[in-house]
Chain A
């Protein structure tokens, strides 16, 4: 279902929409081109799918192109991704050669024509070589947690990144030592997507029941890939501790385990650990389960995201938007979203998660207060409309020197 900008007016308020229209007036003469590596699947494609039509609705000539690559290339970029994330990967010279060869192929085949070109993540980063020929303002948008990158892979990538006019990172922690400006643009969720839009109570109840969960008893939920960094076993420990003091069920749901060997292994461990507890529900959700995920979160009493390492943690954003009290690991972007004790609770251990769960299970007013504050926090900071505003400002920034308001705050007085 295609949404229009005006559909957001009642959600975010007229002030926000009018501000976007005012900004769009100033950059409408610029063509905006996004380039990434996939049109479906993954967070970047999800954001662009929703954002590009809205930018067009604002009258911005926006296009979205996707680079080509074979299996070997995407194998290499997956390894780069993991290495940039701080994971241990064996990186060979041949892998860099594969990356360079695919970049050369895309340089020959892909047309770059935007006045402002936003290149997303490492895969298409090498297209910057085209800049001297075609001109335009080039922005490299990094969606990855590069707080502790593998120096070799980052060094390789940095040679490309340094040629851009500016870079964009999701959090202060991801900032690098670069000679080009580094802007911070957090990711966002779309309040009108299937994963986030309002659902009637009977629909929520029906979905919860369909998965065998009792909608009349408290539900602790973690929606996440089956990945050790999301600590599903820690969530289960927290549930078992909380369970001694308050009746509840546990729902662990995630997708993608079938085509991910490590995911399948973790899923197996989780199922084994669950044993025959009828109140633990481990669900492997198929792709395109957005409406079901939406309903399962809405039907939950508390949402957990007890990650050990996290990029931004959009599952937290999605739960907060649904006014759910969230207990999250004090890592990555979760710390930006859960202002401890106000918009959610930050924890460092299964014990901490259990304590907060018990506190919340016994206090409906606290759940409401935290859920409402969390919703407002997301509304102000992490919705698509804010993301679009930042892109419009970036377009404006590309056209003007960084001297505005210099009389106010610029320079070192």
Chain B
């Protein structure tokens, strides 16, 4: 969609890749966090947002959930869950934030950390993505908002969540294109929507409302 007039809606399909790396304690997790691929950090902090609403736990990311369920380190789970994904536009920053949170907790821990049973180990995964055009194209701004209403979760996710890290900016493919079309006002309004506190259905609905002038 770079500098072209039309917006081409893509979608992203994923295969989960197993890294074969597993950890059973906080110390082991800390040791692997700097070494695993960036795509693994992304996978474990983002996969839940693409899942069905009811699958979302209070922990929002895999690290927080595992620390709570397998290691019973509830305070750390809360801190990991509180990491504001919206604040980062690179995986490096996100990885550093996770490591920093674990380091701080380990520094204050005045007892030996718990080691979980092998069957409760944390397995590092990553995803292998395939970006494909959906065949849906918007010719102008009005058409864009009509088409957004009908795109899939996967397409929305690609253009909204992943765009931030791809573009390295706190924006989305949608906002970038709208700015190019002279609608910086709509672009700013969309950038102000926090995708991490909405379901994908809600996000899509709110984007459409912005375009049609209805209140969010």
Q: Is there contact, CB below 8 Å, between B135 and A22?
A: yes
Q: Given A22-B135, A413-B90, does the pair A396, B16 have CB atoms closer than 8 Å?
A: no
Given contacts A19-B13, A182-B18, contact A413 B95 (CB under 8 A): yes
Asked if B20 lies at the interface with its beta carbon under 8 angstroms from chain A, I say yes
In whole angstroms, how far apart are the Cα atoms of A9 and B43 in the complex? 29
The reply to whether B37 and A410 form a contact with Cβ atoms under 8 Å apart is yes
> Which residues of A have CB within 8 Å of B90?
413
Tell me the minimal C-beta distance from A370 to chain B in angstroms: 10
Inter-subunit contact A408/B19 (CB<8 Å): no
Interfacial chain B residues near A134, Cβ < 8 Å: none
Q: Given A172-B125, A397-B15, are A411 and B20 neighbors across the interface (CB < 8 Å)?
A: no
Decide: A175 and B38 in contact? CB cutoff 8 A: no
Complex CA distance for A373 and B54, rounded to whole angstroms: 7
Rounded to whole Å, the gap between the CB of A366 and the closest CB of chain B is 14
Is A184 a contact partner of B125 (Cβ separation < 8 A)? yes
- Whether A408 contacts B125 by the Cβ 8 Å rule is no
Give Cα distance in the complex from A173 to B123, angstroms.
7
CB distance from A311 to the nearest CB of B (A): 13
Checking B38, B43, B118 against A412 with a beta-carbon cut-off of 8 angstroms, the contacting residue is B38
Q: How far is the CA of A26 from the CA of B133 in the complex (A)?
A: 12
Set of chain A residues within 8 Å of B184, measured between Cβ atoms: none
Q: 8 Å CB contacts to A: which residues of B1-56?
A: 11-20, 22, 35-39, 42-43, 51-52, 54-55
Q: In the complex, are the beta carbons of B166 and A380 less than 8 A apart? A: no
The docked-state distance in angstroms from the alpha carbon of A67 to that of B142 is 58
B interface footprint on A16-55 (CB within 8 Å = 1, 0 otherwise):
0001001100100000000000000000000000000000
If A181-B17, A183-B15, A380-B51 are given as contacts, then 8 extra A-B residue pairs at C-beta distance below 8 Å, sorted by A number, are: A147-B119, A172-B123, A393-B13, A405-B162, A407-B166, A409-B39, A410-B38, A413-B92
Contact between B131 and A405, CB atoms less than 8 A apart:
yes
What are 7 inter-chain pairs, A to B, with CB distance below 8 A? A26-B132, A175-B18, A175-B20, A339-B55, A390-B15, A409-B91, A413-B38
- Do A376 and B54 contact each other (CB < 8 Å), given the known contacts A405-B131, A411-B38, A413-B92? yes
Is residue B126 within 8 Å, beta carbon to beta carbon, of the partner chain?
yes
Q: Chain A: which residue is nearest B54 at the CB level?
A: A373
Neighbour of B165 across the interface among A173, A175, A408, CB < 8 A: A408
Within 8 A of B (CB), among A195-239: none
Chain B neighbourhood of A178, CB < 8 A: 20
Tell me, in angstroms, the Cα distance from A308 to B20 when the chains sit together: 24
Cβ-based interface call for A153 (8 A): no
Q: Report yes or no: B18 in contact with A172, Cβ–Cβ below 8 A.
A: yes
A86 to chain B, nearest CB (A): 11
- Which residues on the B side are within 8 Å of A272 (C-beta)? none
Smallest distance from the beta carbon of B14 to chain A beta carbons, Å? 8
Chain B residues with Cβ below 8 Å from A390 are 15
**In whole angstroms, what is the CA distance A408 to B161 when docked?**
11
When chains A and B are docked, how far (Å) is the Cα of A337 from the Cα of B130? 26
Q: Judging by beta carbons under 8 Å apart, are B38 and A409 in contact? A: yes
Q: For residues 377 through 413 of chain A, which have their beta carbon under 8 Å from a beta carbon of chain B?
A: 377, 380, 389-390, 393-394, 396-397, 402, 404-405, 407-413
Digitize A175-201: 1 where CB-to-B-CB distance is under 8 Å, 0 elsewhere.
111100111110000000000000000
* In the complex with contacts A173-B123, A175-B123, A183-B15, A413-B91 CB distance below 8 A: yes
B-side contacts of A172, CB under 8 Å: 18, 22, 123, 125
Question: In the complex, which residues of chain B have a beta carbon less than 8 angstroms from the beta carbon of A176?
Answer: 20
Complex-state Cα separation, A342 to B52, whole angstroms: 12
- B128 at the binding interface (Cβ < 8 Å): yes
CB neighbours of A148 from chain B (8 A): 118
What 1/0 mask marks residues of chain A from 109 to 137 whose CB sits below 8 Å from any chain B CB?
Answer: 00000000000000000000000000000
- Give every chain A residue within 8 A of B15 (Cβ-Cβ): 183-185, 390, 393-394, 397
Say yes or no for B121: interface residue by CB 8 A criterion.
Answer: yes
Distance between A181 CB and nearest chain B CB, rounded to angstroms = 6
Q: How many whole Å from A296's CB to the nearest CB in chain B? A: 27
Q: Are A389 and B13 in contact (CB under 8 A)?
A: yes
Q: Which residue of B lies closest to A405 (CB)?
A: B129
Tell whether A393 pairs with B17 under 8 Å between CB atoms, given A22-B135, A331-B119, A407-B166. Answer: no
Q: Does B152 contact A (CB under 8 A)?
A: yes
> For B127, what are the chain A residues with a Cβ–Cβ distance below 8 Å?
409
Please state if B55 and A183 are interface contacts (CB–CB under 8 Å): no
Does A169 count as interface, using CB distance less than 8 angstroms? yes
Query: A335 CB to closest chain B CB, in angstroms?
Result: 9
Interfacial chain A residues near B126, Cβ < 8 Å = 409
Q: Which A residues are CB-close (under 8 A) to B52? A: 376-377, 380
Q: Which of B38, B119, B130, B134 contacts A404 (CB 8 A)?
A: B130
Q: Which residues of the other chain, B, contact A410 by a CB distance below 8 angstroms?
A: 37-39
Q: B144-179: which have CB < 8 Å to A? A: 152, 162, 165-166
Confirm or deny: A277 has a beta carbon within 8 angstroms of a beta carbon on chain B. Answer: no
Are A182 and B129 CB-contacts (below 8 A) given A409-B38, A409-B39, A412-B38? no
User: What is the CB-to-nearest-CB distance from A229 to chain B, in angstroms, rounded to a whole number?
Assistant: 14
Which chain B residue lies CB-closest to A178?
B20
Which residue of A is nearest B46, CB measured? Answer: A409
Bound CA span A390–B130, Å: 11
The 6 closest A-B pairs by CB, nearest first: A172-B123, A409-B39, A175-B18, A184-B16, A413-B92, A182-B18
Q: In the complex, how many angstroms separate the beta carbon of B92 from the nearest chain A beta carbon?
A: 4
B128 near A402 with CB under 8 A, answer: yes
- Residues on the A chain within 8 Å of B57, using CB: 339
